[in-house]
Structure formats: C-alpha cells, structure tokens
Amino acid sequence: MSDFNRTPVVPPRKVAELRNDPYAGYSGDLSIDNAMRAIGRGVVFGGPYLDELEAGTHAMVAPYIDPLLPDSWIPELPGRTLGERYDNALARQRGADKAFDEQHPYISEGLQRLGEEVSERALRLPPGMMTNIARGAVEGFGAGEGGFRNRTERAVHDAVEEALKGFGMGG
C-alpha cells in the first residue's frame, strides 16, 4: 500500500514552472486530441474562446475530478486557488495548441479552416460585409488578452479591419 504522507519522488510542477514552459509539457504530436482542438479553434463564434472555456472548466472541477482520475489521462492541475488553477490550465491549453501549430503548421491551419467552414454552414451566416464586421468583432474580443478594455480595443480593431477590407474589395 502506498504511503501518501511521504514526499513524492518527483515533485509536482508549480504553476510558475508551467507558465514558463512554452509548450506546458505537451509534444504537439499528430493525435486525435490535437486535431479536434484545431477544428474547434476554427469554429466561428466559439473558437477564440475555446482555450479559456476549457481552462475555466478544468480549474473549477479539478479539485473534485483529479483525485479520481489517473495522471496518465489528465495530469493533476496544481494551484491552491481557482485563479492559480485557471492560469495553469490556460498555460496547458495554449501550450498544447502552440506545440501542435509549430510542429504541424499546414495540418493545423487546414483543420482550423475546416472548423470555420463547417460552423459557417451550420450557422448559415448570410454573406455580406455586416456579417464579416460582426464576426471580426466577436473574434477580436476573443483573441484579446487581459482585461475588458484590451478585449474591446481588439474587437473594435478587428471590426474596423474587416470593414476596410469590405470597402476595399467593393470599390
């Protein structure tokens, strides 16, 4: 029987260590998990928020689920507070995406475009400049980092960029 009170042989990684690792321990291999994540990142109105949604969900359920699952499925999420767990989970999500994007750039881009096409057809978005502007704003808000102000600035920037593209192509 294991002695859970003794010091582990390999100390668990701290939150700061995972944030400093550009890939957060992920390899970026060509796997079903990475392929599905790439398709999900391409979805029109959810893709920019995917990493944050997954990180938030994992941060909330980790204290209850992690003790039940083997580490080979999902490594334990360190952090004493919800904020620490969220930052660590977000570093993992972005590390996995970055590793896959850098190791398989063409496959990743193709899968993201597939997710975009499928979601556009499923949502049946009307073609036109106003749809592109709204989509640019939503994607810009999701791609912005930091607080609400930074996200809003990015949303306005991307909406204006889409509008200028539309006027340029129309003129």
pLDDT score at 140: 73
Distance of CA 116 to the CA centre of its chain: 15
Q: Residue 23's pLDDT band (boundaries 50, 70, 90)? A: low
Give the span between the Cα atoms of 162 and 140, in whole angstroms. Answer: 11
How high is the pLDDT of residue 109? 92
* Closest C-alpha among 145, 60, 54 to residue 97: 54
Q: What is the overall mean pLDDT for the chain? A: 75
Strand, helix or coil at 140? Answer: helix
Query: Could you report the per-residue pLDDT of 83-124, keeping only the tens digit for each?
Result: 888 888 888 888 888 889 999 999 999 999 898 888 777 777
Which of residues 16 and 41 earns the better pLDDT score?
41
